[in-house]
Amino acid sequence: MSIFKLKDSAAAKAVSVFAGVAMALTLVFGGAVAPAQAQTVEELTAQISSLLAMISSLQAQLSNMGGTTTTTGVSYNFTKNLTMGDSGADVLNLQKVLNMSSDTMIAASGVGSKGNETEYFGGLTKAAVIKFQNKYASEILTPVGLTAGTGFVGASTRAKLNAMTVATTPTTPVDPTTPVVTPAGTGLTISAGSQPAATLAVSSAARIPFTKVILTASADGDVVVNSLLIERTGLAADAAFAGIILLDEDGTQIGIAKTLNSLHQATVGENFTVKAGTSKTVTIAGNMVAAATMASYRGQVGSLSVIGVNTSAAVNGALPIMGTAHTMNDSLSIGSATPARGVNDPNATATKEVGVDGYTFSSIKVTAGSAEKIRLHSIRWNQSGSVSASDLGNLKTYVDGVAYDVMVSSDGKYYTSTFGTGLVVDKGLAKEITIKGDIISGSGRTIAFDLYKNTDLYVTGETYGYGITPASTGTGFSTGTPWYDASVVTVSNGSLQGSKSTTVEAQNIAENVANQVLGGFDIEAKGEAISVASMVFNVTLTGSSAAASSAVGQVDDITNVSLVDANGSVVAGPVDAAYTSVSAQTTGTITFTDTVTFQLGKGTYTLKGQLGTNFVNDQTIIIDTNPTDDWTTVTGQTTGNSITPTPDATLTSNTMTLKTGTAVISTSASPVAQNVVAGAQGFVMANFQFDATASGEDVKFNTLVLNNTVTGANSEYQTGCQLFDGTTALNTGSNIKDIASGETAAQTFTLDSAGLVIPKGTLKTIALKCNISASASGDTYLWSMTAAQTGSGLDSGSTITTATPTGSGQIMTATTGGTFTVVKDDSSPSYKIVAAGTTDVVLAKLKFTGTNEAINLKKLGLQLTAASSSPSDLTRVTLWDGTTQVGVATFTSTDYATSTLTTDFMIPKDGSKVMTIKGDLAKIGTSQVGTQGALLKVNFDGGYTASTQGVGAQSGTTINTTSASDTAVDGVRVFRAYPEFAKINVSNTVLISSTDVELYKFSITAKDADGLSDGIGLNQVTVNVATSSASAVSGTTTVTNLEVYAYTDSSFSNPVSGYTNGLLATAAATLVTGDNEVEFSSVLNIPAGATYYFKVEGDTTLTAGTGTFSGNVTTKISGDAAYPAMATLMGTETTVDADTNNDFVWSGHATTTSALAHVDWSNGYLVDGLPSGGSSAQTISK
């Protein structure tokens, strides 16, 4: 136990010094009434300076009067076990030992703290014992096989306690000023810090920093500082300050705000530690009054001085320390923060049991005003309930789903969360702040997370930077204390609740078999583990007589009943059921008197027992219980309190029905009748279904009799016949059956020792698989099950004979090997322009169709069929099964390639599968092998069927394709770069009579594979214009002077260079209806990757008729219907322009930008975005 006191001489001197200070203050501040007279500021300042000098002198005397600490050990011998609820001298001395160390103390202050120990073992003592046990785990817990403290003081804990009391008992006289334990620091030095800049102390502002001081602990130990004594100095009134606070280095408030007393002083802060040899800077700050009050003190200049330090260590340094003087101001309007009860706040008293996790205790919403954005820095919750900090766990403050840790004050009542660099709330918006946590203990106590004062929410403004005092007008908030009075939660005992189990389903059960399911319940313990000393379950039988002499099952025929948990462990029993009376033997009870402890959480508990042989088919068993009435002596294992289980209602489990063992057998309609390839291995000849859904127990078969019908008199072609339960063979080794020649009737299959087990309530499908001889061809095989089968009950051993199986089976016809065909799939791509150097270009999609058996494709023959291409245009061809590459084809010096597949490509039996052919295209350019304008067509080669072959999955034979015709894909056309066309909507679709009317807009992008090409050249487009038919009534629309402009931006504001205002060309003054070729004044080059934007304008004339005018103009860019017919793949611009298909003339710039005479020009045949019929049309009308 630690006792803090001052030496008598020091105390006397201290009284003398403080008396002198008080006298001086009285003289200066009017303790005696003097004649009224005016004093100048200079005179007041002189008086204050004189007083400060006096205080400094007195403080210097005090600095040599530091108190010392005397710690006395506990001398006591612990001889009995202790637990929560005990009382007496043992508990008192236990608390004294626990309070010897700060990390195991009962409480920092109040009941249970040092000097305030009691004789009662409560929750605080238990929590401290747990800390003590964890601290000395190797000596207390490990020897008895524990890993965490329990709070129970047993033999190993007492041994450690006794060792410590002996160790701390003085054996020789000890100076009471000499600590027995490790001493605290003997000195604390205080000095001025870097003071804040002078500014305005604005009304309603919070945490305005006035003074910073540095506290340095001596190197010989930590120093605990209890508080600082602050005095308001300067020419300002106390009433300008709403409160004085102490701030830690990170801005966290230490303690609560204090008001100035009649001596203009306030003691601020709470216990905090300055580590040995280190320094801590703290700030004295002020919370200012509202504007209405501040108006009376406008212009006054005030400061806050540190005049004393409350600590047991000797204080060094000159006091007072005065920081910065600020000017009182009521005119600056800073931001505001308006709180209200949050939507997540419970807003009602509640009772929650021990063990509730993640409970929302309190929640507030903070809304920023219109003056400025605000920043939330921290919140300080006041837990005003009676629980201790150790009763709560995992406490976090949440904002926007982010969890922030809480720091607990030394008295365990304040919980502070800081929000990092702060959370900004925009003007008019809000954030919700919530505190959640777990209720660990504290039964019978209360929890309430209030906000004691409005300054416990630290808010600053983003514009002016001042701390903002939140308003007190929001829902749930007041001007008094607490500022926010939260809802109270009362901590209750744990609870125990039962319910019908849905996982223990209604089912069939058997007689004379142990551990049959009788019923099941879900039981949930909340808050703490709970023990039940007695549990009664009621039994009701149906379908039986009540007479004791009846030959059917009665309640007392149910024996060896156990209560089993979800892991299969017996927690109570076995016991026998008892009927209600001789005259009522169809009702009764099952009573467990074993104490069952239900751990935290929800578990399923099943009653299992054995039914006597008197039970008959279709008798039912129903189990029910009323937890409130039928479960007795229910006790919480943490609180020790009696608990009433719920609900107070009858819970009835699912009905169990007594059934004899049985199985219904049928031959499945799957697989369907089909061809089977000669040589097939493990072919499924038939499937048999065994249905035990109506059985009371699992059914086992050791032999099965199957019927085999064969045409062709070659039954011996069936060998290696086995029955399979999924992937498990039921007859192996010598039990594998080969069908002998001429055996076409019943075939008995002897199963391995494990046999075939059909669990009750289930249905199984058993497959018969046989190998078919390679010599078989044209024979048919039919397997079925026509005779009743004999099995036994797996647990009871009783003989079970099934009914005659149903179903006739399907005919399997032996045939020669499989075949497959290859054709172009409908999803194969159409003709497309692509860039040289592009990889994984889809060239074709081929469909493979197999018959008779699945075929694993091993190689594929391909060929280049376009005369305009050569193998050098392809660097690689790959084969794909969906997203999986299965092979590579290589074209060397010829147009033919055979690929060897590296991964299985399985063509399904009597089904189809699609393979994708992809290619990597050669580059085009200087020193590159690719050909500008080459048309690449990679097709299946049907002219040489042996180049495409696979292996039969059943027969194992090599099979060539039967397809003898080549496929014909559309192919891809390759250029170094190519254009991509896109229509753009015009700005106005209303037709007017004017010049330069916008008729059409489009864009062209130069595409390539690597961004390193010279882009494309464009020399001609064809504008197709159509106007509405002339009408004497509706009027006439004409278009003249067609012009095409080009721009480098989508806003059409930056014309391309080299042309006047971006004008590429003007068509004839008089246009034709239909195509109008627009040849540019010079080649327009579009860089690689760039997009240019084009606009078509014309002069429109609207001639009125006799009636209402109606007319329109429809415009589009024409495409080309075919690739130009030329002797070479590419031509000069003149050659291309001379072709019939010359609507869109462009160059892919194979090696450099192309002049008109270069043989590097093509037309618009299927340019991306420009179909043969032209682009999407644009119509403007009136």
| Per-residue CA distances from 980 to 934, 968, 1131 (Å) | 19, 26, 21
- Return d(Cα 270, Cα 260) in angstroms, integer: 17
pLDDT band for 183, please (50, 70, 90 cuts).
Answer: low
pLDDT, average across residues 702-706: 96
Give exposure, 1042-1053, as e/b (b: 16+ Cβ within 10 Å): bbbbbbbeeebe
37 Cβ partners below 8 Å, 6+ apart? none
Backbone angles phi, psi at 945, to 5 degrees: -65, -25
pLDDT, average across residues 994-1019: 97
* Digit-coded pLDDT (tens) for 710-720: 887 688 899 99
Q: What is the pLDDT of residue 928?
A: 94
Q: What is the pLDDT of residue 184?
A: 66
Give exposure, 199-223, as e/b (b: 16+ Cβ within 10 Å): bbbbbbbbbbbbbbbbbbbbeebbb
* Digit-coded pLDDT (tens) for 736-760: 999 988 777 789 999 999 999 999 9
524 Cβ partners below 8 Å, 6+ apart? 496, 497, 498, 499, 598, 601, 602, 603
Supply the mean pLDDT for the chain: 88
433 Cβ partners below 8 Å, 6+ apart? 342, 363, 364, 365, 366, 376, 379, 397, 398, 399, 457
Q: CATH second-level architecture of 337-492?
A: Sandwich (2.60)
Cα(first)–Cα(last) distance of the chain, in Å? 101
Q: What is the pLDDT of residue 779?
A: 86
Q: What is the pLDDT of residue 145?
A: 75
Q: What percent of the chain has pLDDT over 70?
A: 91
- Return d(Cα 670, Cα 676) in angstroms, integer: 14
pLDDT for 43 beyond 90: no
List the structure tokens of 926.
Answer: 């200087």
- Return d(Cα 1148, Cα 709) in angstroms, integer: 72
- Helix/strand/coil for 843: strand
Are the CB atoms for 715 and 685 separated by under 8 Å? no
Q: What is the pLDDT of residue 29?
A: 34
Backbone angles phi, psi at 264, to 5 degrees: 65, 25
Q: What is the pLDDT of residue 537?
A: 98
Are the CB atoms for 553 and 617 separated by under 8 Å? no
Q: Which residue has the higher pLDDT, 442 or 38?
A: 442
Q: What is the pLDDT of residue 11?
A: 35
- Among the listed ranges 670-674, 691-695, 784-788, 1067-1071, which one has the minimum average pLDDT value? 1067-1071
* Digit-coded pLDDT (tens) for 1143-1156: 999 999 999 999 99
Beta-bridged to residue 374, according to DSSP, are 425, 461
* Digit-coded pLDDT (tens) for 899-925: 889 999 999 999 999 999 999 999 999
Q: What is the pLDDT of residue 68?
A: 32
Q: CATH second-level architecture of 74-167?
A: Orthogonal Bundle (1.10)
Are the CB atoms for 862 and 879 separated by under 8 Å? no
Q: Is the domain 187-329 a CATH 1.20.5 member?
A: no
pLDDT, average across residues 382-399: 93
Give residue 541's identity as a one-letter amino acid code: L
Strands 392-399 and 430-439: antiparallel
In 26-174, where do the E strands start and end?
A: 68-71
- From the number of C-beta atoms within 10 Å of its C-beta (0-12, 13-18, 19+), residue 969 rates as buried
- Return d(Cα 1158, Cα 1148) in angstroms, integer: 11
Angle at 662 between CA 656 and CA 663, to 5 degrees: 115
pLDDT for 1 beyond 60: no
Q: Within a 10 A sphere around the Cβ of 389, how many other Cβ atoms?
A: 19
Q: Is the domain 664-815 a CATH 2.60.120 member?
A: no
Q: What is the pLDDT of residue 197?
A: 93
| Domain assignments of the chain as residue spans, ordered by start | 74-167, 187-329, 337-492, 497-629+642-658, 664-815, 819-973, 978-1181
Are the CB atoms for 620 and 656 separated by under 8 Å? yes
Are the CB atoms for 1109 and 1037 separated by under 8 Å? no
pLDDT, average across residues 582-594: 89
pLDDT band for 1027, please (50, 70, 90 cuts).
Answer: very high
Angle at 467 between CA 463 and CA 468, to 5 degrees: 90
Q: What is the pLDDT of residue 836?
A: 97
* Digit-coded pLDDT (tens) for 298-312: 999 999 999 999 999
Q: What is the pLDDT of residue 942?
A: 94
Q: What is the pLDDT of residue 551?
A: 61
Q: Within a 10 A sphere around the Cβ of 1081, how many other Cβ atoms?
A: 13
pLDDT for 50 beyond 90: no
pLDDT for 169 beyond 70: no
Domains 337-492 and 664-815 share a fold: yes
- Return d(Cα 124, Cα 128) in angstroms, integer: 6
pLDDT band for 81, please (50, 70, 90 cuts).
Answer: confident
List the structure tokens of 747.
Answer: 């075939």
pLDDT band for 470, please (50, 70, 90 cuts).
Answer: very high
In CATH terms, the fold of domain 497-629+642-658 is Jelly Rolls (2.60.120)
Q: What percent of the chain has pLDDT over 90?
A: 71
List the structure tokens of 898.
Answer: 């055979």
- Among the listed ranges 124-138, 166-180, 851-865, 1017-1031, which one has the minimum average pLDDT value? 166-180
- Return d(Cα 101, Cα 933) in angstroms, integer: 90
Q: What is the pLDDT of residue 238?
A: 96
DSSP state at residue 1168: B
* Digit-coded pLDDT (tens) for 608-659: 999 998 898 889 999 999 999 999 999 988 778 899 999 999 999 999 999 9
Closest by CA position to 1118, among listed 1022, 1010, 1034? 1022
Are the CB atoms for 42 and 50 separated by under 8 Å? no
Beta-bridged to residue 722, according to DSSP, are 769
Q: Tell me the angle at which helices 123-135 and 89-98 cross, rounded to the nearest 10 degrees.
A: 50
Q: What is the pLDDT of residue 898?
A: 81
DSSP state at residue 233: E
- Return d(Cα 852, Cα 679) in angstroms, integer: 12
- Among the listed ranges 38-52, 116-130, 551-565, 772-786, which one has the minimum average pLDDT value? 38-52
- Return d(Cα 388, Cα 383) in angstroms, integer: 9
DSSP state at residue 479: S
Q: Which residue has the higher pLDDT, 159 or 719?
A: 719
Omega before 647 within 30 of 0, i.e. cis: yes
- Return d(Cα 44, Cα 295) in angstroms, integer: 23
Are the CB atoms for 627 and 495 separated by under 8 Å? no
Q: CATH second-level architecture of 819-973?
A: Sandwich (2.60)
pLDDT, average across residues 225-243: 95
Half-sphere exposure of 862 (CA within 13 A, CB side): 34
Beta-bridged to residue 490, according to DSSP, are 351, 446
Q: Kindly calculate the radius of gyration of the chain based on its CA atoms and give it in whole angstroms.
A: 48
Are the CB atoms for 1157 and 1083 separated by under 8 Å? no
Angle at 126 between CA 125 and CA 132, to 5 degrees: 90
